[in-house]
Amino acid sequence: MLTKHRLWHYQLLPAFVSLIITSLMVALMLWCANLLRGWVDQRWEFQHEGLDDFLALAVGAGAFVFMVLIFLFLHKHIVLVALSPFLGRIAEVITRAECGPQPDTVMNQWQSLRRSGVINTRSVFVELLCTIPLGLVGLLPFLSPFTSVAILFISARYAGNGLMDFPLEYRGLSVRQSVEWSRQHKATSMGVGLGYQLLLMIPLLGWMFAPTFGTVAGTIRSIEEMRKFEAR
């Protein structure tokens, strides 16, 4: 689709911005973990010097792991909001080419940024409400495999919601209508979001290309689902 509609030049800037955002977040986490490790090393003193170093290292590593978990949870939404003007433009070009211009639809950068912020902030809160109880239940060893899979699919569901909102915005749907549309197409949103999350797990290349590839996939699936609805 990127080749068909000659959109590869739209890929370059978002890819670079996405890489910069992700790299800065990783660097910030490492800096914070190292800062905490140094603070612990200065504050806590034991008779055995090796124990001091081990404790400081354990606290720093634990803090980094904790920040990574938060990063993995929020990153997919932060990138979509930050890149929404670019991703919205990609969705608009594809939708315009596939479905024709949409009447009375105006998309500027500020509106796209604000709308994406609303959609993804809502998704974060809903995900937390769903995943925190599942995470607590997952502390039981025999249930943890099932809760982990459930958390993955819930996360994918709401990531897909953010990706598929870009073409829905151009088609003139409000935020409330977009949320309802995503609710009616849970499997589609989940599939798009799962692919997006799997791409994000690839260092560097995934960080660069996952947002735009996910937007293209979400746009294509949105168009297909709307055509099915209109053909009824």
Say how far residue 81 (Cα) sits from the centre of its chain.
9
State the Cα–Cα distance between residues 37 and 104, nearest whole angstrom: 56
Convert the pLDDT of each residue in 188-198 to its tens digit. Answer: 989 999 999 88
Convert the pLDDT of each residue in 181-227 to its tens digit. Answer: 888 888 998 999 999 988 888 877 888 888 889 999 999 888 888 77
With contact defined as beta carbons under 8 Å apart, do 120 and 81 qualify? yes
Q: Is the residue at 2 inside a domain?
A: no
Q: Is the residue at 62 inside a domain?
A: yes
Confidence at 52, pLDDT banded by 50, 70, 90 = low
Number of folded domains that form the chain: 1
Convert the pLDDT of each residue in 55-112 to its tens digit. Answer: 767 777 777 777 777 777 777 888 888 888 888 888 888 888 887 776 555 566 677 7
Q: Is the residue at 1 inside a domain?
A: no
Across 130-137, average pLDDT: 81
What range does the domain containing 224 cover?
8-230
86-118 CB burial, b ≥16 within 10 A, e <16: bbbbbbbbbbeebbeebeeeebeeeebbebbee
Q: Is the residue at 3 inside a domain?
A: no
> What is the amino acid identity at position 112?
S
Q: Is the residue at 200 inside a domain?
A: yes
With contact defined as beta carbons under 8 Å apart, do 33 and 60 qualify? yes
Provide CB contacts within 8 A for 76, sequence distance 6+: 155, 159, 162, 196, 197, 200
